[in-house]
Every structure is written in structure tokens, then in C-alpha cells.
Amino acid sequence: MKIPGSLCVISGASSGIGKASALELGQRGARVVLVARRAQELEQVEGEIRAAGGQAWAFPADLSRPEEAQRLGDWVLHELGTPEILIHSAGAGAWRFLDETPLEALQGLMDTPYFAAAYLTRVFLPAMLQQNRGFILSVCSPASRLVWPGATGYVAARWALHGLTEALRADLYPTRLRVCAFFPGKISDSEYFTRNTDTESRIPRIGRLIPEITSQQAALGIVRALEREARVWFVPWQLQAFDLLARCLPRLAEHLAWSSGARRKPQGY
């Protein structure tokens, strides 16, 4: 996929992986539409890209609401044209056991990333199909391949995003639209774990064997996945090695995740 000149819509562009990807793609000549709820943060990213000579547009929107996704789609298609690249990086939600999770939070976990990605893709898909060219990349969680305890709603929502991504690839098989499931390891400088309290401590200890990466390294991984039109991409490579191990030895992987993962207090399991 050619990056310079491509119109790229990025959700979750106000922080973390989405923001780093927007800056990286803007620097490489993509025309970037930045989407998230916080206007001020988006305008800052827009300013950084423009100051470096790139093109960017901040579009504040709550993607858990289909009408907001539609408003974004109408504006982009009317003002800028059909996107070549869609990056789904909006995501939120704390890690909890199912019965610890308030109902509203459980629904919120599905809103972003799953519904946000589904609404956004749905809005642009007809035009992208007409153009018969493009790339859709979802920032998925390793939790949709290697499951761990104490994050039930989070894991299920990430499976939903991963499932959407795989299903879209099947739907789009005969077209020239490509679809990628991108899996980053733990991001050392993301806001995710400060915004979702008591979540970081639930990462299974076995996960420490996989080196952390920065959001910039994740963004470079996304660039590589785009350039190679990859179906699936992992950063760092140790995550892929773990994934392979878990596929070959699922019972061992299950045991390691459980024995080094979150436990109930008082112990109920």
C-alpha cells in the first residue's frame, strides 16, 4: 500500500498507538483524518503534523455512537474524498472479572473497540469498494489470541474486534481491499493503563518475557504492515513466538496464563 498521498482515517488518534501512527503516517506524506473524543488533544496532533509540513484534520467524535460515525463519514467523503487507509485504534475499558464489571462498563467495552470499528468501516465501505483499493487495519489485542484471567469483558470485546477484522477479510477476498489484524505487545508509554486503573497489575507475569514496546515502535510496525499489505502483524516478534507456542501447546499456555495471572480476592477459584 502506498502511503504518500493516501487519505487515512485513524480512530483513537488523540493518544497512544493511534496518535503515534497518525504522526508517523503524516510525516510519510499521508493525508490524515484524526478521530477521537478529545478535541484539544486531536488539535495538538493536527498542529504537530501541519508544523512538519504534512496534512491533517482533527475531527472530534464519539465513535460509540453510529450517528457520529456517519457525521464523520459524510464530512470526509464530501470534503476530502474516499479514504485509502482506515486504522481502528480507538479502544477503552478496564480489566475485570465478569461479575466485577458494572453493566454499563461491560457495554462500553464493546462500544470501543468493536462497535466503533464496525460503524466506521460500514460508513466508508461502499465508497472504498467502488474505488476497489484500500487497506483496513485493526489494532487488536493479544488477548484475542492468548487469553488470560481477570479481564473477561475486555477479552471478549477484543475477540469481537478480531472477529470483525477476519470476517471483513473474508468478505473482501475477491476485491483489492486488504485487511490486517495488527497485534502489539504491551505499550510502555500509552495512557491505557493510567486511564483504566487496576488493569496493569492484571497482566500475567509470564507476559514479562515479552519486551514492552513504545507507541512509536507500534506505529512503525503499522507502517510496515501497510507497506507489505500484511494480513496479520505482530510487534515485537517475541509475541508471535508466544502465539505459536500457545497454538502448539494450548493446555500449557492456558496453565501459564492462569498461574501467573490475576486471582480473585478472597480466592474463589
Cell, residue 204: 500475567
- Catalytic: 173? no
Tell me how far, at minimum, the Cβ of 160 lies from ligand NAP, in Å.
11
* Structure letter (DSSP) for residue 115: I
Q: By CB under 6 A, is residue 9 in contact with ligand NAP?
A: no
Q: Does 18 bind ligand NAP (CB under 6 A)?
A: yes
Q: Peptide bond preceding 83: is omega within 30 degrees of 0, i.e. cis?
A: no
Residue of the chain from 26, 83, 91, 207 that contacts ligand NAP (CB under 6 A): 91
Residue 177, classed as helix, strand or coil, is strand
Closer to ligand NAP by Cβ: residue 72 or 253: 72
Apex 54 CA angle, 51 and 60, nearest 5? 85
Instruction: State in angstroms the smallest separation of the CB of 109 from ligand NAP.
Output: 10
Q: How many CB atoms lie within 10 A of CB 186?
A: 18
Q: Which residues ranging from 226 to 265 are in contact with ligand NAP (CB under 6 A)? A: none
CB contact at 8 A, 179 and 136: yes
116 binds ligand NAP (CB under 6 A): yes
Q: Which of 31, 96, 186, 202 binds ligand NAP (CB under 6 A)?
A: 186
Q: At what angle do helices 116-131 and 66-79 cross, to 10 degrees?
A: 30
# residues near ligand NAP by CB under 6 A: 31
Q: Which three cell numbers stand for residue 118?
A: 464496525
- Decide the pairing of beta strands 7-11 and 85-88: parallel
Contacting range for ligand NAP; rule: CB under 6 A; set: 34-42, 122-130, 222-230, 246-254: 34-42
Name the residue nearer to ligand NAP (CB basis): 18 or 134: 18
Single residue of 37, 71, 133, 169 touching ligand NAP by CB under 6 A: 37
* CA diameter of the chain: 57
Q: Which of 2, 5, 38, 255 touches ligand NAP (CB under 6 A)?
A: 38
* Residue at shortest CB range from ligand NAP: 91
**From the list 6, 10, 15, 59, which residue makes contact with ligand NAP (rule: CB under 6 A)?**
15
Per-residue x/- mask for ligand NAP, residues 187 to 206, rule CB under 6 A? x--xxx--x-----------
Contacts 24+ apart (CB under 8 A), 101-105: 101/152, 101/153, 105/153
208 binds ligand NAP per the rule CB under 6 A: no
Question: Using the rule CB under 6 A, is 25 a contact of ligand NAP?
Answer: no
77: left (phi over 0), alpha (psi -120 to 50) or beta: alpha
Among 112, 144, 199, 217, indicate the residue that binds ligand NAP (CB under 6 A): 112
Catalytic site residue from 154, 173, 192, 269: 154
The Cα 35–Cα 257 span in angstroms is 34
Which uninterrupted H or E stretch holds 21?
Answer: helix 16-27
Q: Which of residues 51-70 bind ligand NAP (CB under 6 A)?
A: 62-64
71 binds ligand NAP (CB under 6 A): no
Separation between Cα atoms, residue 98 and residue 95, nearest integer Å: 9
Catalytic residue positions?
A: 154
